[in-house]
Structure 1
Amino acid sequence: MNVLPKRSNTQRFHIKGVLYFFLIIFLLIFSSIITGTQLDQFFNHDSLGQFAVLWQKMFHPYWPYWSYVVGPLLDTIRMALVGTLLGTIIAIPFALLSARNIVSLGWLRGVIRVISNLVRTLPDLLLAAVFTAILGFGPLAGVVTLLIFTFGQMAKLMFEAIETIDQGPLEALEAAGASKVQIIIFAVVPQVLNTFFSNFLYTFEVNVRASTVIGYVGAGGIGQLLQVTINQFRYDETAVIIFVILIVVVLIEFMNNYLREKLA
């Protein structure tokens, strides 16, 4: 005879779930008090009315405006592609120098990892604002921003992948007297190549989204056009831009998923 396991009172009355719910509510209220945020302002009549007006305008897109969106959209994709490619190329030697099974000098690995970690902690919006001030408004500031962002991310992803590879081929080549370069080419690269391309595609997908945001601070691309339409209260044109961005991001995600499955 099958007997169902007896549940405790905690499981029966979902006490943990209730406690987590009240904990989240408490933290929300506590953080609003600390930061001086008035939560009721989000739900007053003026805010809801303004939201309804904005939503109504965006539900009537000005479709002829799409012809003005194509150029900045292509700039956004080019920014993401060039920034991802250059950042990945720069990240490769840093990833190799950060891997414990490639470099035996602990101090050298530590210095390289600290550099990568410092770069990765810088927000992309901050980088975009800085390089916009240095290089001026336009795609060049966006490319440099995405290059640095990609470098920090790819350096971490790749050195972690390198450290998890099978050590057998490395030890065999080392015992045969192969140089470090030969070990990397014939033992490391074949094992991490698929992971490398998968990480590259993922980073490119992230950079397409990021390039839209950093364009909002003047780094070129469709984000800059988005800022103009919002500042001019042309929400019907803003709706067209958001729709185009959504379609492009979805297409890129489907393409990346298809390529990752082929690489698996």
Structure 2
Amino acid sequence: MANKNTNGKKTTERYRLTQPRFKWMLAFTIIVVFSLYMLSVFQTNAFPNRVKEGLPIIYRFMIEDLFPPNWGYLNRVAQSLLETWNMALFSTTFAAIFALPLSFIASSNINRNKWLYQVVRNLLNILRTIPEVILAVLFVALVGIGAVSGILALTVFSLGILAKLVSETIEAVDPGPIEAIRASGGNTLQVITYGIMPQILPQFASYTLYVLEINVKASVILGFVGAGGIGIIMQQQLRMFNYNNVATIVFMTFLTITIIDTVSNRLRGHLE
């Protein structure tokens, strides 16, 4: 900005866009983050040259061992993929059913009881922090090897995610309809039915489809610990070094998940 001094000459006054303290803090943060990355590289021995040395091994493994896939194993893979899909579908359905009432209890604009609100919130946080593989191990020990343990593990894991997302959506709804129903003497059930559900249904359906995508992918991994699905036969074929069968499993799993993700993304796009 130009100003005139006492001699009548124009001077230019500079305005600082960023404060010196902010620059020092930014530089310090970058140095700390870079140092942590370098420490992680040395601690894990994850140097780029190791990746370069491993590329020819990966290439030979894919060309010599995995190719060509054993298409005669396709029927067995299809059966396991169907079981994987059923696990994901059932677990997502159960999680959606139980998540809806929990979401209202975990919403501060619906549940006025602070103690109950905090208890449910903490419960949802605990459910989300337990990995689905750990849950699968626990349920395999409880009900045995098979799809049932996988369904139970994914239901509990999905419940924490879905209830958390929906409860935050409920807390962000337009308060106008809620206040109008309460002012006219409506009870909590009427507030939920007429004031909240019409506002959150598209998001609830979108979140449910998103959780279904997660469960389809997670159910593949759960098979490695005996929780049913395609993961069981993949682990068996890997142990027996039947890499042609493994290639068929990988290809069909990739194709199935891609189709499910594509359909789900389009549906969620229309809902949102």
Q: Aligned to 2:264, which of 231, 256, 261?
A: 256
1:30 has 2:49 as partner: no
Structure 1 contact 216–223 (Cα < 8 Å) conserved: yes
* 1:201-237 deviations in Å (ceiling 9; x for gaps): 0000110000001111110000111111111111111
What is residue 55 of structure 1 aligned with on the other side?
Answer: 62
SS of the equivalent of 1:103 reads coil
What is residue 180 of structure 1 aligned with on the other side?
Answer: 188
Larger radius of gyration: 2
Structure 1 residue ranges (4+ consecutive) displaced by more than 6 angstroms after TM superposition:
19-22
1:150 has 2:139 as partner: no
* Gapped regions of structure 1 (runs ≥ 5): 1-15
Q: Offset of 1:251 from its aligned partner?
A: 0.8
The number of equivalent residue pairs is: 246
Q: Kindly report the root-mean-square deviation, in angstroms, between the aligned alpha carbons of the 2 structures.
A: 2.5
SS of the equivalent of 2:235 reads helix
Q: Offset of 1:29 from its aligned partner?
A: 4.3
Q: Offset of 1:33 from its aligned partner?
A: 3.8
Percent sequence identity is 35
Q: Distance in 2 between matches of 1:217 and 1:138?
A: 10
Q: Distance in 2 between matches of 1:38 and 1:187?
A: 54
* 1:98-153 deviations in Å (ceiling 9; x for gaps): 11110112221111100110111000111111111221110001000000011000
Q: Offset of 1:39 from its aligned partner?
A: 4.5
SS of the equivalent of 1:67 reads helix
1:203 has 2:203 as partner: no
What is residue 122 of structure 1 aligned with on the other side?
Answer: 130
- The alignment's TM-score, normalised by the length of structure 2, stands at 0.83
Over 3 Å counting, the alpha-carbon distance change for 1:182 and 1:214 in structure 2 is same
What is residue 239 of structure 2 aligned with on the other side?
Answer: 231
AA aligned opposite 1:257: N
Q: Distance in 2 between matches of 1:157 and 1:118?
A: 15
Q: Distance in 2 between matches of 1:134 and 1:150?
A: 19
Q: Distance in 1 between matches of 2:182 and 2:195?
A: 10
SS of the equivalent of 2:148 reads helix
Q: Offset of 1:182 from its aligned partner?
A: 0.9
Structure 1 contact 54–235 (Cα < 8 Å) conserved: no
* Gapped regions of structure 2 (runs ≥ 5): 1-25
Q: Which has the higher contact order (CA 8 A, sep 6+)?
A: 1
Q: Aligned to 1:131, which of 139, 147, 158?
A: 139
